Every structure is written in C-alpha cells, then in structure tokens.
C-alpha cells in the first residue's frame, strides 16, 4: 500500500525535483520509505506503507534486465499463485513482494495482465524498449489515480494534491464538476473538479506513448448470465464460502491487522469470517454518537461479544466538525458525504493499534442493502401509470417539505421522469429543479446543457441487467460506490497510514452476486435476502433483522441547535457569495426552512458548506510547495 506518482515528457528528461515534491505531498500514504526512478522521459515515484515483504519490497521494482519498471499502490491477493506460475515459465524473482509479479505478468501478457489480478490496485509500468507507460486501476476503483496531459506532458498521482505540486497545472474549476457535485455529493470519474485533470475510471488502463494516450476498459459485471438450477440453500452455502475465502486471502500481512465493526450485517460478516480464520482474537473498532438514532455501538458490542474480539470505541460530538478544513485538504475535491467525519476519526483510532483494517464495504451494492432499492423497485414498476400522475405532479409545493401533499407531488413527478432520473430522486442532494433555483444564471450558462442526472443515465442505459433490481445495483456500483464510498474510505484511512481491505469487493464474490437471480437479493422492499440466509446461523438475529442504519452524522439536530449559526456564517459570507455560483436568496431560504423545521435541508446545507470549505482550503489557498526533502 502506498501512494504513487509520475511524469512522462518526451520533449526532455523527467524532472526529479517535481517528482520528489509529488511524493512528499503523499508521505501520509506511505511513511515507511520513498522510491524514485528516472529513465529518460519518465519518472516514477512512490511512498511506501510496508505490509508485505517489509524488508525487501521497496519500489520501484524491475524485471531481470531492468527494461520494465513498476510502482504499485494496493495489494494483489493472488500473487503467490501468479508467482509460482511465472517462475515455472522461467521468470526470476528478486523479492518476495506482490509488486514484482506485475513486471513478469506484463512480459507474458502485455496490457492484459490486469485481467489476471485479484486485489485492489493502481499501478504505473514503464516499458523502456517500447518507450511506453501503462497505468492500470482495479475493477471497482478501490485505489485512486488522477492524471493530466496538459501541455504535452503527462503527470499522474494517487492524490490531486500531489498532482498540483506541478505549478503548470491551472487550478481552474470545471463547472460541470460542480453541477455533478451538487447533484450527487461527489465528483464522478472521469471528471475532476480541476479542468483538464481526469480520474482514471475503475477497471481501466491508460497507455501513453509518443502518439498520445488511450484509455480502455477491461472488465464490467455481467448481469445477463444467471445461475440456473441452483436452489436458495445451495446459493447461500456458496455465498458463505466466498465470503470466507475473500476474507481469508485478505488476512495476509506482516503487520498487525483488525476490522472496522459497525454492527451492520456486512462488517459483522467480515469479523465472523476473520474470527474463523485467525488464531488470535480479532481487533475491532467502532465509532458512535450521543444521539441514539445515529449510534450503532450497542450492536457492534453484541458482535464483538459473540466473537470474543478485542473491541475499542470512539464517540463523535458536534465539535468534531472542527476537522472540516483538514477533510477538504485531504479529499482534494468537494465531498459531501457526512459519514466522512466518523470514517476519518475511526481511521485515526484504528491506526493507533493496527496497520491494516478490513471492512464491510460493498455488501449493500451487491445484495440490495439500501432502502432506496425497495422504493425504486416499486416506483419504477408504477411508471406504466405515468399519465395518471400528471395532475398530481402539478400540485403547488406547499409550505412544508414533509407534508402529505409534498410527498404525493414528489412521487407523482417521479413517474414522469426517465427511469434513471426517477431512481436518482432517492440519491440526489439537489434535484434538477432545486439546482435551477440555487445556481446563478451566469454559472448555469457555463454548463453548456450538462446535467448531473446524465451521470446516472449513461450507466443505466449501458447496463446489461434486465431486471430493475440488478440495474439499480449496477448503476450504484459504477457511480455511488466508485465515486463516494471508496474515495471516502481510501482518503480517511490513508490520511492515517492505514490500509483498508474490503472482502465484499472481491470481484469473484461480486460476479457471483451479479449472477444470482434478482429475487434472491431484493423481494418487494426487502433486501439482502440471500445474504441474511447465508449468515442466519452465524450472526445474532438482532443483527440480521434490524432496520438498516446509515453511518451518518446527526446534522439535522446540529444545524438547528449546537451548530445553528455555522451555515449562515460561512455560506452568506461575502467571500463565498462573490464566487457567483449560488443565489443568496436560495441559501437564505434553505437555512430558514431548516431552522423552522419546515424541511430537513441538513444534507444540502452540508454539501454547500463542503463546497465552500474546498474553495477556501484548496482552490483559493496558496499553492503549498512541499519540501522535496520531506520524508
């Protein structure tokens, strides 16, 4: 695990000082060492968090004659099998690290090496003979990679802050990224908030040579090839085996490891599998709130007691928002998911005791764990009655967002929208009509017709899924999972030099889930049917059958009481209003309605605060030129 960075410029030799600054900017991702390699037009760099082959796995790593060099961020869980296969074909290994298999796999399979990997990764590989750079990213996007080719020179890095160590990259905001952010709460790939910078999408490679760059996708989930002749009992047994295997292979480590434990089904399943495969007690870590509606610690303790773990807890209070500036700097782009706060604190707590932490990320997206899947399943089936909804959709909004009339109007309006937009109504922070009221006319003109809903529309229309439930899962895996959940955990953990591993994001397990009939995942409004059956004799009934509780923050109460004045102080400040994005009167309306409990605008207010914080801490802050000697 580490951070990687690099430059490619065929007009002259790579700049070693720039490369060193890029690495130093990511020292938190890998405090155990720095490696750099310059070879004519290319420079490769990395900051290492040593977990496998601690003594001998420093990077970059080369093939036998030094003509192929690689840097890797991540872990390859099948590297021992690959190493044995490659050794049988005559390849010689100089280390015991997983990284080294990449150079030999490339010699055997070229760019198709990514199809042989089982793990989480972002890598950069330089082929000196072909004068060619290959970047690759794992199937679901657990490890990030930013890149830009402005000015004929390609630069890449694990974090945007590292990329911006190059002063030639203009810090110009992309209006489309802001529009997408206000809708989704994050900036989706391949966009970046900075114009001219891109995020390499999951399951993609980028090949760069003197002719230019080419991005290609190498994998996607297939929802068409369904398992036939498999009963529910057999499917549940196979699922348990896959969860056990995906967890077991993620236990390889030469440093201490533990697990995040929320008390939900997914993290509890991972802890159960860890307990079954470890000879010592599992170290588990949880975080909670003083407000019971947001606190899951009692369920986490129940699981910790069941599996006799070494359990630790941390509690978040309103003053925790003091880390907002720090969050903005680490995330690099506007990021509105409020669960980034407890995630950040949980990672800090956990890093005091272990270097690797397993988690339950991905279970909801593969097995229909969110309540919106049930609502969407019903709503989208009702779209055949769309004409009946037209009169109801024209009802006046009314004074209260939560009134029966407002809800009826909202549901009727959804019947008239394209299916991905109707589904998106359960996801969007600001829906289209709300963004139209919020954005200034001058800023809206700069969007050139781009709308945040199109981010969902592309994956929806290109999905291979034929059933509604599967299509919603597919869209979320390509958008929400890749753009929100995975960056949230990657940034929170790597900010504290902690590696996060996610058994439910094992692509073999995910392919099995995609191949299951949708009815085994979602029936009516009830999700995770097959997962609950698979774990029925493993986890306590109270864990399996309780309502899902999001890993959220009690913002609704905080913005009415403890932090009542914060939104107006920040969002109505002249500096914020002078940016010209947003209309003052709409911000005032949101704050007033929330204060008076006419509506819960807490997520919208939080999103605007995070956008403002990003401007203050990143876009408008002086460029911090990191000392290349750091680390």
| Residues designated catalytic | 2
- Angle, CA of 35, 37 and 38, to the nearest 5°: 150
Going by the DSSP 8-state scheme, the letter that residue 33 receives in this structure is -
Short-list 2, 1, 5, CA closest to 626: 5
d(CA 353, CA 335): 28
d(CA 46, CA 19): 9
Residues 190, 618, 212, 205, CA torsion sign? negative
Q: What are phi and psi of 244, to 5 degrees?
A: -65, -45
CB atoms within 10 A of CB 209: 15
Is the backbone peptide bond immediately before 190 cis, with ω within 30 degrees of 0?
yes
The answer to whether 119 and 78 are in contact (CB under 8 A) is yes
The answer to whether 420 and 456 are in contact (CB under 8 A) is yes
User: Three-state secondary structure along 97-139?
Assistant: CCCHHHHHHHHHHHHHHHHHCCEEEEEEEEECCCCEEEEEECC
d(CA 191, CA 464): 24
* R_g over Cα of the chain: 24
- CA distance between the termini of the chain: 16
Short-list 609, 615, 612, CA closest to 553: 609
Retrieve residue 318's tokens. Answer: 């309103």
Retrieve residue 575's tokens. Answer: 């500096």
d(CA 227, CA 225): 7
d(CA 623, CA 631): 20
Alpha helix segments (H runs only) across 54-202: 79-88, 100-109, 160-163, 175-184
Pairing of strands 257-260, 283-289: parallel
d(CA 147, CA 132): 16
The answer to whether 210 and 10 are in contact (CB under 8 A) is yes
d(CA 600, CA 570): 19
Torsional class of 415: left (φ above 0), alpha (ψ -120 to 50), beta (otherwise): alpha
The answer to whether 102 and 115 are in contact (CB under 8 A) is no
The answer to whether 486 and 137 are in contact (CB under 8 A) is no
CB atoms within 10 A of CB 75: 25
Q: What are phi and psi of 188, to 5 degrees?
A: -80, 150
The answer to whether 321 and 465 are in contact (CB under 8 A) is no
d(CA 328, CA 514): 35
d(CA 591, CA 565): 10
Residues 230, 232, 234, 240, CA torsion sign? positive
């Amino acid at each position: 695990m580490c951070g990687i960075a690099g430059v490619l410029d065929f007009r002259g030799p790579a700049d070693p000082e720039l490369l060193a600054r890029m690495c130093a900017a990511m020292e938190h991702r890998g405090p155990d060492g720095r490696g750099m390699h310059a070879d004519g037009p290319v420079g490769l760099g990395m900051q290492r968090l040593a977990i496998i082959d601690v003594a001998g796995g420093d990077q970059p790593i080369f093939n036998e004659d030094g003509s192929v060099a690689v840097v890797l961020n991540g872990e390859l869980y099948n590297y021992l099998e690959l190493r044995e296969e490659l050794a049988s074909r005559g390849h010689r290994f100089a280390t015991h690290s997983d990284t080294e298999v990449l150079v030999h796999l490339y010699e055997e399979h070229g760019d198709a090496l990514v199809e042989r990997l089982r793990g989480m990764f972002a890598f950069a590989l330089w082929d000196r003979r072909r004068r060619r750079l290959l970047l690759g990213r794992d199937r679901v996007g657990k490890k990030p990679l930013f890149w830009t080719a402005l000015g004929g020179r390609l630069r890449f890095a694990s974090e945007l802050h590292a990329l911006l160590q190059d002063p030639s990259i203009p810090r110009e905001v992309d209006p489309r990224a802001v529009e997408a952010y206000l809708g989704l709460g994050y900036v989706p790939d391949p966009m970046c908030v900075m114009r001219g910078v891109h995020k390499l999408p999951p399951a993609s490679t980028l090949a760069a040579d003197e002719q230019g760059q080419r991005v290609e996708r190498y994998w996607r989930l297939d929802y068409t090839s369904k398992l036939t002749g498999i009963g529910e009992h057999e499917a549940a047994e196979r699922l348990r085996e896959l969860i056990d295997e995906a967890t077991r292979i993620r236990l390889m480590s030469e440093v201490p490891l533990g697990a995040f434990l929320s008390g939900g089904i997914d993290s509890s399943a991972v802890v159960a599998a860890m307990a079954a495969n470890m000879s010592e007690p599992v170290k588990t870590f949880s975080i909670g709130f003083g407000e019971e509606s947001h606190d899951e610690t009692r369920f986490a303790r129940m699981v910790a007691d069941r599996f006799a773990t070494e359990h630790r807890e941390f509690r978040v209070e309103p003053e925790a928002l003091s880390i907002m500036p720090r969050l903005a700097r680490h995330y690099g782009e506007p990021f509105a998911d409020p669960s980034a706060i407890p995630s950040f604190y949980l990672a800090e707590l956990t890093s005091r005791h272990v270097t690797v932490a397993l988690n339950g990320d991905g279970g909801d997206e593969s097995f229909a764990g969110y309540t919106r899947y049930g609502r969407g399943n019903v709503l989208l089936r009702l779209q055949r009655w769309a004409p009946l909804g037209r009169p109801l959709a024209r009802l006046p909004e009314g004074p209260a967002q939560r009134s029966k009339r407002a809800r009826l109007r909202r549901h009727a309006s959804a019947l008239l929208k394209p299916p991905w937009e109707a589904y998106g109504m359960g996801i969007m922070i600001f829906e289209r009509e709300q963004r139209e009221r919020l954005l200034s006319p001058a800023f809206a003109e700069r969007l050139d017709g781009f709308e945040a809903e199109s981010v969902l529309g592309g994956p929806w229309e290109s999905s291979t899924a034929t059933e509604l439930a599967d299509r919603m899962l597919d869209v979320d895996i390509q958008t929400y999972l890749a753009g929100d959940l995975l960056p949230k955990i990657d940034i929170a953990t790597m900010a504290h030099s902690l590696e996060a591993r996610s058994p439910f994001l094992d692509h073999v397990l995910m392919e099995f889930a995609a191949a299951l009939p949708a009815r085994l995942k979602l029936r009516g409004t009830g999700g995770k049917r097959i997962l609950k059956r698979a774990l029925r004799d493993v986890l306590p009934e109270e864990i399996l059958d309780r309502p899902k509780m999001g890993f959220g923050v009690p913002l609704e109460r905080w913005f009415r009481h403890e932090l009542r004045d914060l939104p107006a102080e920040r969002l109505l400040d002249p500096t914020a209003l002078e940016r010209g994005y947003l209309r003052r009167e709409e911000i005032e309306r949101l704050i007033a309605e929330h204060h008076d409990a006419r509506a819960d605008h807490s997520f919208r207010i939080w999103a605007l605060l995070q956008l403002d914080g990003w401007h203050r801490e990143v876009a408008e802050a002086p460029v911090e030129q990191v000392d290349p000697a750091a680390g």
